[in-house]
Amino acid sequence: MNAIPSASAIRTVHVPLGERAYDILIGPGLIARAGAEIATRLKGRKAAVITDENVAPLYLKALVASLDEAGIASAEVVLPAGEKTKSFEHLITACDKVLEARVERNDYVIALGGGVIGDLSGFAAGIVRRGVRFVQVPTSLLSQVDSSVGGKTGINSRHGKNLIGVFHQPDLVLADTDVLNSLSAREFRAGYAEVAKYGLIDKPDFFAWLEANWKAVFTGGSARIEAIAASCQAKADVVVADERENGQRALLNLGHTFGHALEAATAYDSSRLVHGEGVSIGMVLAHEFSARMNLASPDDARRVERHLKEVGLPTRMSDIPGDLPPAETLMDAIAQDKKVKSGKLTFILTRGVGQSFVADDVPASEVISFLREKHA
């Protein structure tokens, strides 16, 4: 392990949610500094660290040692890796271990892992003693720029993904950028799709910056920290404006309606498609569909596709290995995900790069025609 870098390399994004305000720290060496960062900001002296079997061998020891050094006693909860862990079964285990560790309302649940661990741990933190403090230590690019910020927590139900959960904001997010070096190129790219998304939603300058600087972001160093900080800031802005998703927070779903349908169509088989890849294809489709609806220029769709392709992300349905079900099946998945009111759908569409908006009157018939064309 490297020497602990000085705090000067650390970027801070503040999320001003009143009494639920918190900081996101982004930079190298934050796992080794975790105990100190927590202890200087918060009062609790006990923690339950929840992680998974993949992440535990890499970072759990270092995190626990850092907490220990800061006088924070911790219990360790290691769950199986993968989406199936977002279940009542594992939630019950997690809650039980948190109570066993005698974590009180000012003590911590600490999530060490990607989105699955973050969502499950945040939910446990939200319901044990009707809410204890929660610290996120995200270990994937996707969770650093997306799921660790904003307070959405939850598990899956047989009726669908993320249908059971609470809004429970973290008290601190520690995004250690060193851990990203252990990600596979494919995992990093998948997370990058969400980074690009923030540019496409309403930050055209950020998207242009990514087009010019993406290689430096993939290499690491200050450009990567810059990109993560900009992403967290973009997400924080949306969350602050609409914490409980009554309106504009839906913009964060750009590319996700098509993306989720493709994930469902590939039965969540990560060898074929992971979430960020679905979002990448979905964002291109959202821009193409907006062009087809005469809302945006086809040039914007081509520009978005060019960039995502350049970084190595899939951008077309035909990029997914294996056969896809027919357009009608994709449409069914979309209709299940969304409420269809008298043949109209709510969709995130765009007037061009960085000009997304929530459209709540998209004709289902247009979507199905579009999917048939694209699928052919």
Kindly write out the interface string for residues 306-345 of this chain, putting x where it contacts its own copies by CB under 8 A and - elsewhere: ---------------------------------x------
Interaction mask 230-249, its own copies, x per CB under 8 A: --------------x-----
**Shortest distance, CB of residue 258 to its own copies, whole angstroms?**
22
* Residues within window 77-106 making contact with its own copies, judged by CB under 8 A: 88, 92, 95-96, 99-100, 104
Task: Confirm if 137 and 111 have CB atoms less than 8 A apart.
Answer: yes
Residues ≥6 apart with Cβ < 8 Å to 49: 60, 63, 64, 67, 74, 75, 76, 77, 110, 112
**In DSSP terms, which residues pair with 358 in a beta bridge?**
348
d(CA 20, CA 275) in angstroms, rounded, equals 29
Backbone angles phi, psi at 47, to 5 degrees: -145, 150
Alpha-carbon span 340 to 345, nearest angstrom? 5
166: contact with its own copies by CB under 8 A: yes
Cα–Cα distance, 288 to 261 (Å, whole number) = 16
* Catalytic residue list contains 130: yes
Judge whether 69 counts as a catalytic residue: no
Query: Nearest approach, Cβ of 107 to its own copies (angstroms)?
Result: 12
- If you compute the radius of gyration of the chain from its CA atoms, what whole number of angstroms results? 20
Is residue 165 a contact point for its own copies (CB under 8 A)? yes
Give the residue from 349, 345, 350, 342 showing the smallest Cα distance to 361: 345
- The answer to whether 147 and 118 have CB atoms below 8 angstroms apart is yes
Helix (H) or strand (E) holding 102: none
Q: Tell me whether residue 76 is one of the annotated catalytic residues.
A: no
* Least distance from its own copies to the Cβ atom of residue 244, Å: 8
CB of 266 to its own copies, least distance (A): 24
Q: Are strands 11-15 and 356-363 parallel, antiparallel or unpaired?
A: unpaired
CA angle 331–336–337, rounded 5-degree value: 95
Contact characters 183-222, its own copies, x per CB under 8 A: ----------------------------------------
By the rule CB under 8 A, 360 interacts with its own copies: no
Provide the annotated active-site residues. Answer: 130, 152, 194, 235, 245, 249, 253, 256, 260, 275
Residues making up the binding site: 115-119, 139-140, 152, 161, 194, 256, 275
Question: From the annotation, which residues make up the binding site for Zn(2+)?
Answer: 194, 256, 275
Residues that bind its own copies (CB under 8 A): 88, 92, 95-96, 99-100, 104, 126-131, 152-154, 157-160, 163-167, 244, 339
